[in-house]
Structure 1
Amino acid sequence: MKNILIPTDFSDSAENAITFALDLFKCDRTNFYLMHAYADELYAMSPDSEGIDFKKKKFHEASEKKLGEIISKNIKEKHNPRHRFESISVFESLVDGVNDFVNLKNIDLVLMGTKGQTADKNITFGSHTVQVFKYVKCPVLAIPSDYTFSQPKKILFPSDYMVPYKRRELKLLDTLAGRFKSEVHSLYISDFEDLSHRQEDNRLFLKGSLPNANLSFTRTEVKNKGIAIMDYAHEHKMDMLVMVNSRHSFLEDMLYRSTVDQIALNPVIPFMVLQNLPR
């Protein structure tokens, strides 16, 4: 049984992510938890005569109603006896609400849209998505707002082989690759073909941890890493991008810049972040 958490702000992007999730796991026995965290919305309101407790009650009731409508709609349109739904409305920030629930239910994957109600075409990811990438200690799969589901037959996995991987997170990638008979392209961005002993050990561990994937290793010369990744994804028609977030990694550097666009990483395909951080 898989446990999938889907945060929603009731935007079109969030609705698209829910549809993607139901298609991606249509053959799996899955618990889908739909969460709406409304603390930021409440605090963004202009002050008025209504007390905070009264506002919280109104927001909670409205949230529960909308979540119930979404669940009813999807049960009716995509009836799947393998799927179970539960709604969660929390008076917390999105990151805090997601982190707490990830720990409570031992969530396998957080799946969300890349842009929310304030979608801006000049921004690569919505700010909430970036915050979840950075701070939630769980794999996160972000779905572009206009992306239509297709089976992830080709998965791009850039790596410098400097990080000792974790089997739990790699198992998720292996399960997806096995289910869809996917090619996993491990892309090494370097001017040099030779690997250190540490890199070679990590590459062998990666190979041993993805037995169900059609795994291949390739190298490209150094240039802007974001451009190299997206050029490869475009040229080889990748269906999904997977990266590992760890201390001092390229992805960590990307997430802590002022904007993701600065390093030209603007995926138009689903983007999964595996967390090699304490959980």
Structure 2
Amino acid sequence: MKQILVPTDFSAHAENALKVAIQIAKKNNSTIRLLHLLEIPHQTNDAINSATGIPEVMLHIKNANDSLAKIKETFKDENIEINEFVRFERPHEGILSYSNKNAIDLIVMGSHGISGIEEILIGSNTEKVVRLSNAPVLVIKKDTTQLHPVNFVFASDFSNEIKKPFEKMIEFTRFFDANLHLVMICTPNSFKTTAVSENIISNFLADFNLKNYTTTIYNDTNIEKGILNFAKKINADLIGLCTHGRTGLSHFFSGSISEDLVNHAIKPVITFKI
């Protein structure tokens, strides 16, 4: 995790994410890239090349750079290299583009969390990044400013396609020296007997040299509830899972477990792209 990207909208949520990113960076000698995205209104965007449009755009840039400089000054005593950047792009698109172009190892984001009809209609930038990012995404929840994951829950179906992101998850677990709790959620729509589930997990883990872990088969009405209820049961500090990155209508109709967890979990969530 040499390059950590922290998108910021200058909110308290983004500041909390930065504090966690600094904690990780200090432990791993990482560089933090602090990114602010300016989404210029259409009327301003159309006027960028005109004499009247340029002053307003320059004011946006100046204000953003001033705010980034204040943040950098606030954390100057942390002895962490923080580089700040301003880009003109829609937030989630800019974050994903910047991450891909700069070989980012980890994205740390704050989440405002939404629910109900707002969640269905507009989603959030964090959700979109979680769904589409090639780099692991660590979502920091309200009031979290330090990350000390003693108990790390990783939920999976333990299929072969999970093996590559599972290796990244193991690295993250070892980085924090956390207790790893592997869980398979069985629901009425995806029911497996205990014997079948245990066999799947056992065969999957045969390819990995894991220590300090547990395995659990947990039954619930749906996968999201199963993960949240199991995490609460063992007092988890962090929840991890893989995301397929579905888009379009398939995403709308099938939903996204990772996005639901980002919205509803009260603990930090980390996702790994399959």
| TM over 0.5, shorter chain | yes
TM-score w.r.t. length of structure 1: 0.79
TM-score w.r.t. length of structure 2: 0.81
Gaps of 5+ in 1: none
Q: Which moved more, 1:53-62 or 1:16-25?
A: 53-62
| Structure 1 SS opposite 2:128 | helix
Indicate yes or no: 2:132 matched with 1:130.
no
Identity of aligned residues (%): 21
* Equivalent residue number for residue 92 of structure 1: 89
CA–CA separation in structure 2 for the residues paired with 1:265 and 1:68: 30
CA–CA separation in structure 1 for the residues paired with 2:22 and 2:268: 15
Q: Per-residue CA shift, 1:23-48, capped at 9, x if unaligned?
A: 233221111000000115x4498x99
CA shift for structure 1 position 71: 0.9
Change (3 A) 1:121 1:222: closer
Change (3 A) 1:216 1:162: same
Structure showing the higher helix proportion among its residues: 2
Superposed, 1:123-202 pairs within 5 Å as 127-167=124-164, 169-190=165-186, 191-193=192-194, 194-195=196-197, 201-202=203-204
Superposed, 1:69-80 pairs within 5 Å as 69-76=70-77, 79-80=78-79
Change (3 A) 1:197 1:225: closer
Q: Per-residue CA shift, 1:79-104, capped at 9, x if unaligned?
A: 23xx2110010000112211221122
* Equivalent residue number for residue 272 of structure 1: 270
CA shift for structure 1 position 200: 5.4
CA shift for structure 1 position 56: 2.4
Change (3 A) 1:217 1:63: same
CA shift for structure 1 position 50: 7.9
CA–CA separation in structure 2 for the residues paired with 1:66 and 1:150: 25
Change (3 A) 1:120 1:176: closer
Change (3 A) 1:265 1:231: farther
Paired amino acid for 2:159: M
Q: Do the aligned partners of 2:131 and 2:245 also contact (CA within 8 Å) in 1?
A: no
CA shift for structure 1 position 214: 1.9
CA–CA separation in structure 2 for the residues paired with 1:156 and 1:256: 15
CA–CA separation in structure 2 for the residues paired with 1:88 and 1:69: 13
Paired amino acid for 1:53: I
CA shift for structure 1 position 73: 0.7
Gaps of 5+ in 2: 187-191
CA–CA separation in structure 1 for the residues paired with 2:170 and 2:43: 42
Q: Do the aligned partners of 2:223 and 2:257 also contact (CA within 8 Å) in 1?
A: no
Paired amino acid for 1:178: R
Change (3 A) 1:247 1:149: closer
Indicate yes or no: 2:33 matched with 1:37.
no
Aligned residues: 257
Runs of 4+ in 1 over 6 A off after TM superposition: 47-50, 121-126, 196-199
CA RMSD of superposed structures (Å): 3.2
CA–CA separation in structure 1 for the residues paired with 2:5 and 2:152: 22
